């Protein structure tokens, strides 16, 4: 019987729960020096001078460097041709600083904590410039600009605002329009950023960096250091969460490597939580104007999404996020007309990057809010309006007006099953009773339907991933993968996939990743691509290994390959009808190395979908929100390990709910971060959320032999609008139509006051 689809316990956990992981900051190389960054304390200023002399006189200080000392190319922005190339970030600021937290200098010390004191003594003379903190202001003509050579703050545009149709909403009986905020949030992984770097006598660099893909990290490091990729080895120790923000390498990583080369000894860096909250890329940060029009019977006839993306001070992946938001703009709906445009601007804030969902949660949040605004305007049940406008079920690929090719979907079933599981009618009854009784605590029911894209990629010939499977003479096996798990459990599932084919027990299979010398190619882990590409590659490599083994077994047993049967339970080939004449995979490996490297190429990205129902209680006197329930359907095609997939859903839903009612990165008007500690950034804990009710649904994809789509980000896509809509739904009769996220007690209270006049 196949173990695929069964709840195999994570094989990673015994080690994490007993001896613990080995993180970058746990590594100890002899003679290592410590790098401490001096970060800008102002949001926008010209640097008159940087004086490190006082720091150099401190005990333990070996060296101090400024931007002028670095003989390195500028960090180039990602995706040339899309994002303005003149907006690159120097690895250490030179003439101008553009956000609080931007690295300006480094102090290098013998001991770890000596650097913190010495860094305080680095004297940076700033000549302040006007700070542009608000993205709307940044986009306005006449605003101060971050890059005078560019002449505006626009980093990228997607679609042409001038081409928006005047008559898009012609014929609509009702049109609702609103500007809503998809606020900036912090990825806040448990493990902050870190690096250890050492150069060997031949001038080759080894860098240990917590990341989401060693190969991509090697590429960005090599580019920043201006050296050949062959001269770089990246090793990925255990990674304590990443959430999209550890893809590639950051300027700090390159600087640590440069310091090690300059001083001729290993260098290390691990940031504090405070540094992490201002220095690691943030996520989301969009201002969206939604316009939705349709008939009073609930049919939506037109939808428009206009996006303003805050890319932060230096455009990175964040500037590109709107492309994904636009791709997914109409979500699972069959809107006859839809259009979307976006502008990404720079502001004097921390750069924005990928954060779990990266562009797709923003699309779902916009359209799901729009549907609710429309439903409220025409006085209809939001569940009905959704059901009326969803695309009908399809098994053949469906191409949207925005060029997305949805592989397979049944959005109506997802919604109706979620509503059934939640007991929607009963919930509405309970709500009606509370409303009638004018209870102080009202309940709100919020919905969201979504479809998202996983495994996106622009590789020629389609997204791909490689895997190597080797069987050893002792009957064990090793898998090398180009993915890079950091909480997703690939060691368990990749072993399940190989075991299922080869009959080698799980505890005899070792999965390795994250060493560019061992695995030179790989796409890493992001965009929930890993199972559908990397897992599929493991299955393919295992199958190809069996083909090789069959040939060898035939030679060794002197029979035709076609006369052999593979006995999975025994992990051996035997002659058909004569089971005693057999040879095991281990036996074959004893004679000659038995391994296969396979590259799996998928037909294209897949489009998981689902529906979430959130139930909240809102105290109408204090504005306090309690999340009572989230019922979710997250259909990721065939599920290979339900335990892991559910774990991903629970984590994602919590993270997404936190965006709806708690988390936000806040700056003051001068660009000073007000949420640079966990005392100020209201990070979600298990205490704020109930256990989520996960309903199973599997609509397989034909794009890979596993039938699997991605699940890693689904929770953050479906839950956020459901929770936000629930909070607003609770307050509908009190006159509240919208509350921006996070719907904190203060915001809820203010909305109630405003509605009450």
Options 528, 675, 699, 725; binder of ligand MCN; rule CB under 6 A = 528
* Minimum distance, C-beta of residue 479 to ligand MCN, in the bound complex (Å): 13
359 binds ligand MCN (CB under 6 A): no
Footprint of ligand MCN on residues 534-563 (CB under 6 A)? Answer: 535
Options 349, 641, 675, 719; binder of ligand MCN; rule CB under 6 A = 641
Cα–Cα distance, 13 to 399 (Å, whole number):
41
Contact string (CB under 6 A) for ligand MCN, positions 695-714, x = contact: -------------xxxxxx-
* Minimum distance, C-beta of residue 705 to ligand MCN, in the bound complex (Å): 13
Cα–Cα distance, 295 to 282 (Å, whole number):
39
The smaller minimum CB distance to ligand MCN, of residues 43 and 491, is found at 491
Options 132, 493, 684, 717; binder of ligand MCN; rule CB under 6 A = 493
Question: Which structure tokens are listed for 98?
Answer: 């553009």
CA distances 415 to 142, 553, 635, Å, are: 47, 52, 11
Enclosing H/E stretch for 47: strand 45-51
Cα–Cα distance, 611 to 720 (Å, whole number):
11
Q: Which of 707, 522, 711, 724 is nearest to 609 (CA)?
A: 711
Decide: residue 471, CB within 10 A, 0-12 exposed, 13-18 middle, 19+ buried: buried
* Minimum distance, C-beta of residue 247 to ligand MCN, in the bound complex (Å): 9
The smaller minimum CB distance to ligand MCN, of residues 90 and 463, is found at 463
Residue nearest to ligand MCN (CB): 487
321 binds ligand MCN (CB under 6 A): no
DSSP state of 18: T
Stretch that binds ligand MCN, among 16-24, 362-370, 528-536, 562-570 (CB under 6 A): 528-536
CA distances 12 to 62, 208, 468, 477, Å, are: 40, 20, 20, 17
* Minimum distance, C-beta of residue 706 to ligand MCN, in the bound complex (Å): 7
* Minimum distance, C-beta of residue 720 to ligand MCN, in the bound complex (Å): 14
The smaller minimum CB distance to ligand MCN, of residues 206 and 655, is found at 655
Cα–Cα distance, 431 to 428 (Å, whole number):
5
530 binds ligand MCN (CB under 6 A): yes
Contact string (CB under 6 A) for ligand MCN, positions 429-468, x = contact: ----------------------------------------
Q: Which of 618, 129, 100 is nearest to 351 (CA)?
A: 100
Footprint of ligand MCN on residues 472-491 (CB under 6 A)? Answer: 486-490
Enclosing H/E stretch for 104: strand 103-109
Longest dimension (CA), the chain: 91
Cα–Cα distance, 306 to 136 (Å, whole number):
12
CB 535 within 8 A of CB 640: yes
CA distances 556 to 386, 496, 516, 553, 586, Å, are: 63, 28, 36, 5, 13
Which residue bears the tokens 């001078």? 49
Site size for ligand MCN, by CB under 6 A?
35
640 binds ligand MCN (CB under 6 A): yes
DSSP characters for 276-317?
HHHHS-BEEEEEEEEEEEE-TTS-EEEEEEEEEEE--SS-SH
Options 356, 360, 508, 747; binder of ligand MCN; rule CB under 6 A = 356
531 binds ligand MCN (CB under 6 A): yes
Question: Which structure tokens are listed for 257?
Answer: 């490597």
* Minimum distance, C-beta of residue 715 to ligand MCN, in the bound complex (Å): 9
The smaller minimum CB distance to ligand MCN, of residues 72 and 502, is found at 502
* Minimum distance, C-beta of residue 522 to ligand MCN, in the bound complex (Å): 12
Stretch that binds ligand MCN, among 56-64, 283-291, 594-602, 638-646 (CB under 6 A): 638-646
DSSP characters for 113-131?
THHHHHHHT-EEEEEE---
Stretch that binds ligand MCN, among 102-110, 395-403, 432-440, 523-531 (CB under 6 A): 523-531
**Residues in the site for ligand MCN, rule: CB under 6 A?**
241-244, 356, 486-490, 493, 525-531, 535, 636-641, 644-645, 648, 651, 708-713
């Amino acid at each position: 019987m196949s173990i695929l689809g069964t709840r195999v316990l994570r094989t990673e956990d015994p080690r994490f729960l007993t001896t613990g992981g080995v993180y970058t900051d746990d590594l100890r190389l002899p003679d290592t020096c410590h790098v401490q960054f001096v970060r800008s304390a102002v949001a926008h200023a010209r640097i008159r001078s940087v004086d490190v002399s006082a720091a150099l006189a401190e005990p333990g200080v070996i060296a101090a460097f400024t931007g002028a000392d670095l003989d390195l190319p500028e960090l180039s922005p990602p995706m040339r041709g899309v994002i303005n190339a003149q907006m690159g970030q120097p690895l250490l600021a030179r003439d101008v600083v553009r956000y609080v937290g931007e690295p300006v200098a480094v102090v290098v010390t013998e001991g770890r904590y000596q650097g913190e004191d010495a860094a305080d003594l680095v004297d940076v003379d700033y000549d302040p410039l006007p700070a542009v903190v608000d993205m709307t202001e940044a986009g306005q003509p006449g605003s101060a600009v971050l890059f005078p050579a560019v002449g505006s703050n626009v980093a990228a545009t997607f679609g042409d605002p001038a081409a928006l149709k005047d008559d898009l909403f012609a014929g609509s009986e009702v049109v609702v329009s609103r500007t809503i905020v998809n606020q900036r949030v912090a990825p806040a992984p448990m493990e902050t950023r870190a690096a250890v770097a050492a150069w060997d006598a031949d001038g080759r660099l080894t860098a240990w960096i917590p990341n989401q893909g060693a190969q991509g990290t090697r590429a960005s490091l090599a580019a920043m250091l201006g050296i050949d990729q062959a001269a770089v080895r990246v090793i990925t120790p255990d990674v304590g969460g990443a959430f999209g923000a550890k893809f590639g390498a950051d300027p700090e990583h390159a600087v640590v490597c440069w310091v090690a080369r300059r001083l001729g000894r290993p260098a290390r860096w691990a940031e504090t939580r405070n540094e992490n909250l201002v220095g690691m890329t943030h996520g989301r940060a969009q201002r969206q104007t939604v316009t939705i029009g349709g008939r009073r019977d609930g049919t939506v006839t037109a939808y428009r999404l206009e996006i303003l993306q805050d890319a932060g001070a230096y455009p990175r992946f964040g500037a590109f996020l709107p492309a994904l938001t636009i791709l997914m703009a109409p979500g699972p709906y069959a809107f006859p007309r839809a259009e979307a445009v976006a502008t990404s601007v720079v502001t004097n804030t921390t750069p924005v990057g990928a954060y779990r969902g990266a562009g797709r949660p923003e699309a779902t949040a916009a359209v799901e809010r729009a549907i609710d605004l429309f439903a409220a305007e025409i006085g209809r049940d939001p569940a009905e309006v959704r059901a009326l406008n969803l695309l009908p079920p399809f098994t053949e690929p469906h191409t949207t007006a925005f060029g997305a090719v949805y592989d397979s979907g049944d959005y109506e079933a997802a919604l109706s099953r979620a509503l059934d599981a939640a007991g929607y009618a009963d919930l509405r009854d309970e709500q009606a009773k509370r409303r009638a009784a004018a209870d102080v605590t009202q309940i709100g029911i919020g919905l969201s339907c979504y479809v998202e894209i996983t495994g996106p990629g622009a590789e020629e010939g389609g997204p791909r991933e490689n895997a190597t499977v080797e069987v050893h003479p002792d009957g064990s096996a090793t898998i090398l993968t180009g993915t890079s798990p950091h909480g997703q459990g690939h060691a368990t599932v990749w072993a399940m996939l190989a075991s299922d084919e080869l009959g080698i027990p799980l505890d005899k299979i070792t999965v390795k990743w994250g060493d560019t010398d061992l695995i030179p190619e790989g796409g890493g882990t992001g965009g929930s691509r890993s199972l559908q590409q990397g897992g599929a590659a493991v299955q393919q490599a295992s199958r190809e290994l069996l083909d090789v083994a069959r040939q060898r077994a035939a030679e060794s047993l002197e029979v035709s390959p076609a006369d052999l049967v593979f006995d999975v339970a025994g992990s051996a080939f035997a002659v058909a009808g004569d089971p005693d004449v057999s040879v095991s995979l281990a036996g074959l490996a004893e004679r000659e190395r038995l391994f296969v490297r396979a590259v799996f190429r998928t037909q294209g990205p897949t489009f998981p979908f689902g529906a979430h129902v959130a139930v909240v209680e809102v105290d109408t006197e204090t504005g306090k929100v309690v999340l009572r329930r989230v019922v979710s359907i997250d259909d990721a095609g065939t599920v290979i390990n339900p335990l892991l997939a559910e774990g991903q859903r629970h984590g994602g839903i919590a993270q997404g709910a936190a965006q709806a009612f708690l988390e936000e990165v806040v700056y003051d008007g001068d660009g000073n971060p007000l949420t640079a500690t966990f005392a100020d950034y209201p990070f979600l804990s298990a205490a704020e959320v109930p256990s989520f009710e996960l309903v199973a649904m599997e609509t397989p994809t034909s794009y890979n032999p596993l039938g699997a789509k991605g699940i890693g980000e689904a929770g953050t896509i479906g839950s956020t609008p459901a929770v936000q809509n629930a909070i607003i739904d609770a307050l509908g009769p009190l006159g509240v139509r919208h509350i921006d996220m996070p719907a904190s007690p203060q915001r809820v209270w203010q909305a109630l006051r405003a509605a009450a006049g």
